[in-house]
Amino acid sequence: MGAIKSNTTAQPFFALMFSERELYDLAINRIREKYGEIMGVGPIFKVSDFTDYYEKEFGKDLQKQFFVMKEPVDLQNFARVKIWSNELETETAKSDSGRLVRTIDLDPGYLEPSKLVLYSTKNFSHRVFVTDGIFGEVTMIYEHGKFKFLPWTYPDYSSDENVKFLMVMRDGIVRAGRNQLRKGLSNRL
């Protein structure tokens, strides 16, 4: 029987889609206010290089960027991060013919040495219910020195540039964990 661990943490991950720099800056500032310092920022890329799914809602100039936060968060309540990101999307939405239209899309998840997990409000066969209408999905796994993609991994997540970024972030998380372990051991001596 495995021991139940009560305090599991991981690095928050965000994927931010935007079409206006002003909205990008606003979202980044709000994320920093809420979750602290950013550990690393991936390249900005065109969403249209991977899909046209969002064109109707956001237009053709949609861009996206991944980033990972420096401070780990408790996974026990991580669904609150998705709830908060939805609130930020609503707060930054514009009114169009009496309905709200998003101006940003902010997808949170977490990165740990073994995987990248994303959170969603949409249920699907590969997602599991977490709490409060939020579902989680393992998007990529790390195995034998590289990230492996799953049938539902989005194409932009598996692009060479973004995988390189995620590898650098993963390696930084592993190094930080080792350093923390060493500090803990040296404090006991």
Of 27-31, 72-76, 133-137, which range is least confident? 72-76
Q: 82 in a domain, yes or no?
A: yes
Mean pLDDT of the 62-80 span: 95
Residue 4 pLDDT: 78
Q: 1 in a domain, yes or no?
A: no
Q: 4 in a domain, yes or no?
A: no
Question: pLDDT tens for residues 88-97?
Answer: 999 999 988 8
Q: Which two tokens stand for residue 128?
A: 């599991």
- Domain with residue 152: its CATH number is 3.30.70
How many domains does the chain divide into?
A: 1
Residues 12 and 65: their CA atoms lie apart, in Å, by 14
Q: 91 in a domain, yes or no?
A: yes
Q: 46 in a domain, yes or no?
A: yes
- For the entire predicted model, the pTM comes to 0.90
Question: pLDDT tens for residues 130-140?
Answer: 999 999 999 99
Residue 176 pLDDT: 86
Mean pLDDT of the 145-174 span: 97
Return mean pLDDT, the chain.
92
Q: 181 in a domain, yes or no?
A: yes
Q: 2 in a domain, yes or no?
A: no
pLDDT higher than threshold 70 for residue 182: no
Q: Which two tokens stand for residue 14?
A: 């965000």
Q: 150 in a domain, yes or no?
A: yes
| Domain housing 58 | 9-188
Question: pLDDT tens for residues 103-122?
Answer: 999 999 999 999 999 999 99
Residues 152 and 123: their CA atoms lie apart, in Å, by 13
pLDDT higher than threshold 80 for residue 181: no
DSSP per residue, the chain:
-PPPPS--EEEEEEEEEES-HHHHHHHHHHHHHHH--EEEE---EEGGGT-STTHHHH-TT-EEEEEEESS-EEGGGTHHHHHHHHHHHHHT-EEETTEEE-SEEEEEEEEETTEEEEEESS--TT-EEEETTEEEEEEEEEETTEEEE-TT--TTTTSHHHHHHHHHHHHHHHHHHHHHHHHHHHHH-
Residue 188 pLDDT: 44
